[in-house]
Amino acid sequence: MCGVLWHVYTFSQVSEPSTLSATLIDQTINFDGILDEEAWFIADKISNFTQRELNFGEASTERTEVAILYDDNFLYVGVWCYDSDPQKIIAKEMNRDFDYSLDDNFMIIFDTYNDKRNGFVFITNPNGARTDLQTFNNGASSNIYWNGVWDVKTTVTNEGWFAEFRIPFYTLKYRTGQVQHTWGVNFERNIRRKREQVLWQGWSRNNSIERVNTAGTLTGLDRIRDKTFVEFKPYGLAGGENFNGRNRGVANAGGDINYLLSPTYRLNLTFNTDFAQVESDRQQVNITRFPLFFPELREFFLEGADFFDMGFGGNRITPFYSRRIGLDENRNAVPIIAGARLLGKEQNRTIGVMSIQTAEMNEQPTKNYSIASWRQDVGKQSIVGAMTANTFIKNRWHTTTGINGRYSTSEFLKNKNLDVGVALITTYNTDTSFIRDAYAYRAYLHYSNDKWQVFTSTQKSPEPFNPEIGLLRRQNFIENFALVAYRPRPKNRFKWIRQFDFQPGILTITQYNDTRKLQTFEYSTRLFGFETRSGEYFAFNHVFKTEGLLADFEIYPEIILQKGVYRWREWSVSGGTFDGRTMSASTNWSWGEFYNGRAYQSQTEILWRAMKYFSIAVNFENNTVLLDEGSFQTDLIGTRIAYAITPNVFGSMLGQWSSTDEEMILNFRLRLIPVIGTDFYLILNQVYDTEKAIFFAKRSTIIGKLIWRFAV
């Protein structure tokens, strides 16, 4: 009998009860993190949590309970995280969008469409810090930049810590026209000092909470009303700037209107859109011959980003790169006059439409960007889709259009994960004739599980393919890639090790598409790696690499590598301590041959989380390159001080210096959240020229920005 139960638990990860019923209330909840209202005592509760880590399949060592209430406007989630030793709770983060991997935390995921694919994730820690994200395609991708309107209050006592979530229904999207709603739901608790991770359902090590196909069921939501909702978010900013001794004022205003047509569809309108960054791009040193990728940081484009994903994956080809909109090649802002966006899901169809108009600037005419996407759910977890991204300027039209599909299953070989995907993209311009080879494709297979991971892909981008609204890190190439990783967990010997990490081979073969000459060959192996049960990790790698240069390459100012084929090998060691501690560190060192010489590279970061109000991180990067044509060294030094007074008053100070640019950048940021959904920022930026061993202020900026939200 015990063997039968273990078999059920091991392969299905279903723990009864697997259904939680939400309780409708008509009383007022005192939103304070103290779960003492009568409604919490009579509500349906679950407490059957099972370990995913460290001791798979065992019951949680600390009792956890969850209940859900709702009224006409809000969904309330009550959480009881009992702890036998509350003095050892780890909670040193307090800012919005905190790094939840460092602290004790509690996570909730709602699959509101019950489609076993997509979900809304809400996370808090004992300090009441908030993080949220959207997850798509059963955990295949996530939008970590999504910021929903919701709140949480927490308390810590000698019994543990307790949380009270309050989530407005308009923050969630769900099916309309239903009398009885059934959602997917799952919960996860992390106890950092024990490195213990427990889930309500689906605790397989091959999965994570984002894989909503293993979630439990939420019922009882029989009184949700389908409402329309209008949200106004005007903004205003003012400040000043000094650039090379010249002062100028900075002022702007605009706003967004978000119209919830139904719980399914949301219409976003934006006017004189503000894309002033309140978070600086982190400097990067590039000693490769391919362009760097800077992630999108602007709020308007971050929300709903997955709707406009062509399913290409990888990092060589990005058919749609939203930073092309409103920013020029040098990342300077181009004013956006207005834009509109419609996002939604109905039945099994996901639809996204967006149109943005930029202003005329620096002899560049006004430009329109219009993007549309469609995605259809197929079977239990698979999808097919299509997308088109277009630009219109004067009498010229450019389009990047493609189709994609993905077969996904979590039932391969007894509940293993398997994904197989393909995407085909074409480009066309009206000022040129049709070009047959203006296309790109990518196909991949991914077997991603706890013990074994296998990934293989092939992709191609001929010379004529040019997505003007995307980003190509390589051009005119065809590439094949394969990875095999083996990560066993010791059972008897080496019990202090949580998991070994061996990678027998990572192979990349990249050729020029037109000539089939070699562009890049790379074969790397992880000879030895492991992670301890206490959180430390170590890895030792070897790489053999070949680069084929068809033209001379200026790797550094006045240091030019001649065209030809270069072969070399290098070694690397990386390691780090458990980052949940007060003091932690990580480092990576590599050395060996490099083109016709040698190179030594290192990256080190030290993090000191002194208290929940203050932390500081320092990072160092160095490249020392010795070539026949000359030698050079690059250094990048950065520090980031994060501070928080409350979960709604926090900020950071960022300093970066690069020897390549001979610049020091200082950024100060303060963020106030007087009311959930309303934000005030104070930003100070300072750029110093250090080329002559003195600090010369090239640019100074101070800006105050208010985003005010109100709803009707």
Residue 204 CA from chain centroid, whole number: 23
Q: Which residues contact 393 (CB under 8 A, 6 or more apart)?
A: 365, 366, 367, 368
* Phi, psi dihedral angles at 159 (to 5 degrees): -105, -15
Structure confidence at residue 2 as a pLDDT band (50, 70, 90):
very low
Taking only the tens place, the pLDDT of each residue in 404-413 is: 999 999 889 8
pLDDT value of position 284: 52
Write the DSSP assignment of 617-648 as a string of letters: EEEEEEEEEEETTEEEEEEEEEEEEEEEEETT
Least confident of 46-60, 122-136, 323-337: 323-337
Q: What is the CATH number of the domain that holds 178?
A: 2.60.40.1190
| Token output for 695 | 């600090």
| Token output for 652 | 């950071």
pLDDT at 601 over 80: yes
In the beta sheet, which residues pair with residue 671? 650, 681
pLDDT value of position 129: 96
Distance CA 663, CA 168 (A): 45
Structure confidence at residue 285 as a pLDDT band (50, 70, 90):
low
Structure confidence at residue 1 as a pLDDT band (50, 70, 90):
very low
pLDDT at 283 over 60: no
8 Å CB contact between 190 and 196: yes
Exposure letters 571-584 (e unless 16+ CB within 10 A, then b): ebebebbbbbbeeb
* 362 found inside a domain: no
| Token output for 357 | 């108009």
In the beta sheet, which residues pair with residue 135? 119, 142
* 26 found inside a domain: yes
- The total number of structural domains in the chain stands at 1
Mean pLDDT of the 461-475 span: 90
pLDDT value of position 282: 53
Taking only the tens place, the pLDDT of each residue in 240-269 is: 988 877 888 888 898 889 888 877 888 999
Q: Domain range holding 35? A: 2-221
Mean pLDDT of the 640-648 span: 95
Q: List the one residue out of 500, 561, 552 whose CA is nearest residue 526.
A: 500
pLDDT value of position 457: 96
Least confident of 266-280, 452-466, 486-500: 266-280
Q: What is the DSSP letter of 513?
A: T
How many CB atoms are closer than 10 A to CB 73? 11
| Start-to-end C-alpha separation, the chain | 58
* 432 found inside a domain: no
* 676 found inside a domain: no
Enclosing H/E stretch for 34: none
* 87 found inside a domain: yes
pLDDT at 465 over 90: yes
pLDDT at 277 over 70: no
Q: List the one residue out of 60, 56, 64 whose CA is nearest residue 6.
A: 56
Q: List the one residue out of 248, 373, 393, 260 whose CA is nearest residue 319.
A: 373
How many CB atoms are closer than 10 A to CB 560? 14
The label of the residue with tokens 């400097």 reads 283
pLDDT at 562 over 80: yes
Least confident of 56-60, 554-558, 580-584: 554-558
C-alpha angle 400-403-408 in degrees, rounded to nearest 5 = 140
**Mean pLDDT computed over every residue of the chain:** 89
* 151 found inside a domain: yes
Exposure letters 25-50 (e unless 16+ CB within 10 A, then b): beeebeeebebebebbeebbbbebbb
In angstroms, the Cα distances linking 295 to 188, 345, 382, 444 are 29, 26, 27, 23
pLDDT at 290 over 80: no
Distance CA 579, CA 103 (A): 9
- The amino acid at 250: V
In the beta sheet, which residues pair with residue 161? 81, 156
How many CB atoms are closer than 10 A to CB 673? 17
Enclosing H/E stretch for 500: strand 497-500
Exposure letters 168-196 (e unless 16+ CB within 10 A, then b): bbbbbbbbeeeeebebbbbbbbbbbebbb
In angstroms, the Cα distances linking 530 to 47, 56, 297, 484, 494 are 33, 18, 34, 16, 11
Taking only the tens place, the pLDDT of each residue in 675-696 is: 998 999 999 999 888 877 677 7
Helix (H, G, I), strand (E, B) or coil at 7: helix
**Composition of the chain by helix, strand, coil, percent to 5:** 5, 55, 35
Sign of the C-alpha dihedral, residues 292, 296, 301, 303? Answer: positive
Q: What is the DSSP letter of 171?
A: G
**Alpha-carbon Rg for the chain in angstroms:** 26
Write the DSSP assignment of 272-307 as a string of letters: EE----SSPPPP----SSS--------HHHHTTGGG
Mean pLDDT of the 278-304 span: 59
* 74 found inside a domain: yes
* 431 found inside a domain: no
Distance CA 555, CA 623 (A): 12
In angstroms, the Cα distances linking 187 to 34, 449, 625 are 20, 21, 49
Distance CA 678, CA 570 (A): 51
